[in-house]
Chains A and B, each alone.
Chain A
Amino acid sequence: NAGVTQTPKFRILKIGQSMTLQCTQDMNHNYMYWYRQDPGMGLKLIYYSVGAGITDKGEVPNGYNVSRSTTEDFPLRLELAAPSQTSVYFCASSSGWEQYFGPGTRLTVT
């Protein structure tokens, strides 16, 4: 079991560029989540999904989009990257309250 995997580990984007952060889980979990963590802050929920084809906004969705076409994959799309999106992004999955996290993607927008 690989658990939750995220790619890439690191990325530097120029302002206005777009990219997709990949997230895959092999635990057959229905629930998947995207968080961002800024320095000195807790994790803030960007988007979540309760199953394939169903997504909903979290606390900080602006500037992001998601899709969930399969149980395993939950990609996060950044359109028109801005410096405020510089952060560490974590994907997680769960079948209940206990969420399992990936190792994170460190994104810098300059």
Chain B
Amino acid sequence: DQQVKQNSPSLSVQEGRISILNCDYTNSMFDYFLWYKKYPAEGPTFLISISSIKDKNEDGRFTVFLNKSAKHLSLHIVPSQPGDSAVYFCAASGSNYKLTFGKGTLLTVNP
């Protein structure tokens, strides 16, 4: 049973536009959420996170929104750049700092 779901396997956007990546979770015990970015043949790298006591966190071009009642979070990238093309993983944690990952969304930013 998937506890963290990324329902869009892929997303294509034009350079300069907004990219919105979505993530849903089912476990109400999750209280910390993270986004990771992964290039081919490399390990995932941490991008941005949000605690369940917040509903928004910003870091430069990246903003994560959390809707606890809907068990939904999203990552907004504005403006999107070709170098943002990668697989983005949503992850959630409840205890012991263990992470549960979604299957990932492949973002392609076209010049």
| Chain A residues close to B by CB (< 8 Å) | 4, 31, 33, 35, 40-45, 48, 50, 58, 90, 92, 94, 96-104
Contacts and interface: CB of A to CB of B under 8 A. Distances in A.
A90 B44 contact: yes
B42 A43 contact: no
Contacts of B97: 31, 94, 96-97, 99
30 contacts: A4-B43, A35-B101, A40-B9, A40-B103, A41-B103, A42-B101, A42-B102, A42-B103, A42-B104, A43-B99, A43-B101, A44-B101, A45-B98, A45-B100, A96-B97, A97-B32, A97-B34, A98-B34, A98-B46, A98-B49, A99-B46, A99-B99, A100-B46, A101-B43, A101-B44, A102-B43, A103-B42, A104-B41, A104-B42, A104-B43
Q: Is the interface of A mostly helix, strand, loop or mixed?
A: strand
Contacts, number: 55
B77 interface: no
Contact of A97 (B49, B100, B102, B103): B49
Contacts of B49: 97-98
A100 B44 CA distance: 8
The 7 closest A-B pairs by CB, nearest first: A101-B43, A42-B101, A43-B101, A42-B103, A98-B46, A101-B44, A97-B32
Nearest to A91: B43
A13 to B, nearest CB: 20
Interface of B: 4, 6, 9, 32, 34, 41-46, 49, 89, 93, 96-104
Contact of A43 (B45, B89, B93): B89
A31 B96 CA distance: 9
Contacts of B41: 103-104
Contacts of A4: 43
Contacts of B104: 42
A96 B89 CA distance: 18
B65 to A, nearest CB: 18
A17 B59 CA distance: 46
Contacts of B103: 40-42
